[in-house]
Amino acid sequence: MKLLILRTLVGPTRLRSTVHKASICSSALQWESGVSLVQGASRGIGLEFASANSIRERYGRLNLLINASGVLSIPDVLQPETTLTKVQKSSLMFAYEVNAVGPILVIKHMWPLLKAGGGSGTERDVAIVANLSARVGSIGDNRFGGWHSYRSSKSALNQLTKTISVEFARKDPIACILLHPGTVDTDLSKPFQRNVPDGKLFTKEFSVQKLLGIIDNVKIRDNGKFFAWDGQEIPW
């Protein structure tokens, strides 16, 4: 099934004291293979968008939900910690809100709309929820330490996603998966690209195509799994 990924427009971030918010506009569109929604806020809690009612009224269902929101660093606000002595409560809470809390609340509110199916000739027996995680969120794969807020917030996303997948398995034909896109040439990774080995910094186009290939082949048996960009499973 060919999937159409739609852009999420991210509005300017307003920083007021310790309150961090972002205004976003998420879009959904019906095409021959179903309805998809990409939630891609990069700041704030991630629930602050007004598309849920419009999707219900216009389409009545959602076949694919991708949660792509994430934050790693913001100048003068959040920086990856290189040592425990740099860990702060504000950084931990902010990372958790964006990287874990936001995506899970989006799933909660979109759950009633998640339905299997698609257009003529493209019927599927499972709806898909794909959360963008990161390999550094893997506890078993943690060999270097550091980045306490980012690592632990992605670990929280992984655990929440796994827990949701167990509930989905009991109630609905929905496959909820986690995806590691690799190190991609984006604003998120730009301050840290000097440490990326040759050939391991991917273009956005390459990473997205790899992830779409995984999503396109998801079966109900993949519910609750954590995949890297190359299709290999990542240890928890």
Instruction: Report DSSP state, residue 192.
Output: G
User: pTM of the predicted model, to two decimals?
Assistant: 0.79
The alpha helices in 59-147, defined as continuous H runs, are: 89-96, 102-110
Among residues 89, 96, 115, 154, the one annotated as catalytic is 154
- The topology (CATH level 3) of 9-228 is Rossmann fold (3.40.50)
Q: Is 150 a catalytic residue?
A: yes
Between CA 219 and CA 227 the distance in angstroms is 13
* pLDDT surpasses 70 at 46: no
Domain boundaries along the sequence of the chain: 9-228
Among residues 21, 59, 115, 150, the one annotated as catalytic is 150
Between CA 69 and CA 9 the distance in angstroms is 12
* pLDDT surpasses 90 at 55: no
| pLDDT tens digits for range 152-201 | 999 999 999 999 999 999 999 999 999 999 888 777 776 676 777 777 78
- Strand duo 127-132 + 64-67: pairing: parallel
CB atoms closer than 10 angstroms to residue 189: 17
* pLDDT surpasses 70 at 9: no
